[in-house]
Amino acid sequence: MTRPSHQSDPYIAAKNLTIEFELSGGRKLVAVDDVSFEINRGEILGIVGESGSGKTILAKSILQLVPPPGKIEQGSILIDGVDILQYSDEEMRKRVRGTEVSMIFQEPLSALNPSFSVGWQIEEVFKLHREHDRNTRRQMAVELLRKVSIPDPERRIKEYPHQFSGGMQQRVLIAIALACDPKLLIADEPTTALDVTVQADIMDLLQKMREETGLAILLISHNLNLVAERSDQIMVLYASQLMEMGPSARIAEHPLHPYTLGLMDSVPDIEVEDQKITAIPGEMPDLTLTRGGCVFQPRCKKAMEVCEHVAPELIEVEPRHVCRCHLFSSEYSGVTSGGR
């Protein structure tokens, strides 16, 4: 299999990750199928794909939080060269979760505890990972709220989650996630529940954080346009497989995979009037069934005969831009590059 060109000294490098769920009757669901990626310090990798494509499970595997009966069957996740998949749960708690890698979710209100003030919730993170007295913890929490642009943090720190708007709740969650200076932030659909203006504010905040601190970000979204605008690299997942990955600007201007093209056509662009939005016909395949050919074949407008019975491999079509499609294989199509 052709892999993406190796980048220099990535902060995190996941190699050949495969995650399976053992189901009743001996059946297996492959949730992530042999996926590799790298993220440098200060870089944003956007992962896009429909619900059920494997985006969230892939992200959770970095924290070893794949829910049972899911299991990481194969692969490694190197952080600064150390394979964290070899860590015990206790080592993950002490060395990785919250301190190296943090995660924020799409529904801020359900991720916050309604019974405690936001200050208490931020200070709990310091209690777990740092040895500061109460006054210092409170000062640090106020500074964190200021850092994520919550006005009047000395007053607001005493308030409860329901007293904050959706955008402000998400800022509180970002503050909690950044409390122990992680190097990587996983943002799982961080703006889905917010209106468009607030979405832009939250994305501006994340970009400011990465510029100021060198934070690497794994941004998960079903919105390819948002990811193309805000990420350095894009990974497109479909039915647990990596379909296309490369520099965002390149994928936005010259997408290769028919699925990426379909995603682009199915997301409305608020700046374009009278645009035609076309949903991708059909549904994702049953991930418990053994596959023969290309997993996207039943929905693909460009499918060829070979696609039905030969699974395509990842091909590096241009530097750092890979695609899993027979259209780019000289063996099956005679074409070595292409696009819309």
Q: Which residues bind ligand SF4 (CB under 6 A)?
A: 258, 294, 296-297, 300, 302-304, 307, 312, 325-327
Q: Which is nearer to ligand SF4, 168 or 300 (CB)?
A: 300
Nearest to 58 by CA among 91, 27, 36: 36
Q: Which is nearer to ligand SF4, 128 or 311 (CB)?
A: 311
Q: Which is nearer to ligand SF4, 143 or 313 (CB)?
A: 313
Q: Which is nearer to ligand SF4, 23 or 335 (CB)?
A: 335
Minimum separation from the CB atom of position 203 to ligand SF4 (A): 30
Dig out the tokens for 4 from the structure: 């993406």
Query: What DSSP designation does 97 have?
Result: B
Compute the distance between CA of residue 337 and CA of residue 58 in angstroms, rounded to an integer. 29
Minimum separation from the CB atom of position 297 to ligand SF4 (A): 4
Minimum separation from the CB atom of position 324 to ligand SF4 (A): 7
Dig out the tokens for 300 from the structure: 């693909």
> What is the β-pairing status of strands 233-238 and 241-247?
antiparallel
Compute the distance between CA of residue 16 and CA of residue 301 in angstroms, rounded to an integer. 29
Compute the distance between CA of residue 143 and CA of residue 47 in angstroms, rounded to an integer. 31
Minimum separation from the CB atom of position 54 to ligand SF4 (A): 17
Q: Which is nearer to ligand SF4, 218 or 236 (CB)?
A: 236
Minimum separation from the CB atom of position 294 to ligand SF4 (A): 3
Contact 126, 140 (CB under 8 A): yes
Q: Which is nearer to ligand SF4, 214 or 282 (CB)?
A: 282
Dig out the tokens for 123 from the structure: 């200070």
- Residue 321 pairs in a beta bridge with 318
Minimum separation from the CB atom of position 326 to ligand SF4 (A): 4
Contact 243, 296 (CB under 8 A): yes
Q: Is the link from the previous residue into 4 a cis peptide, with omega within 30 of 0?
A: no
Instruction: Say how many residues make up the chain.
Output: 340
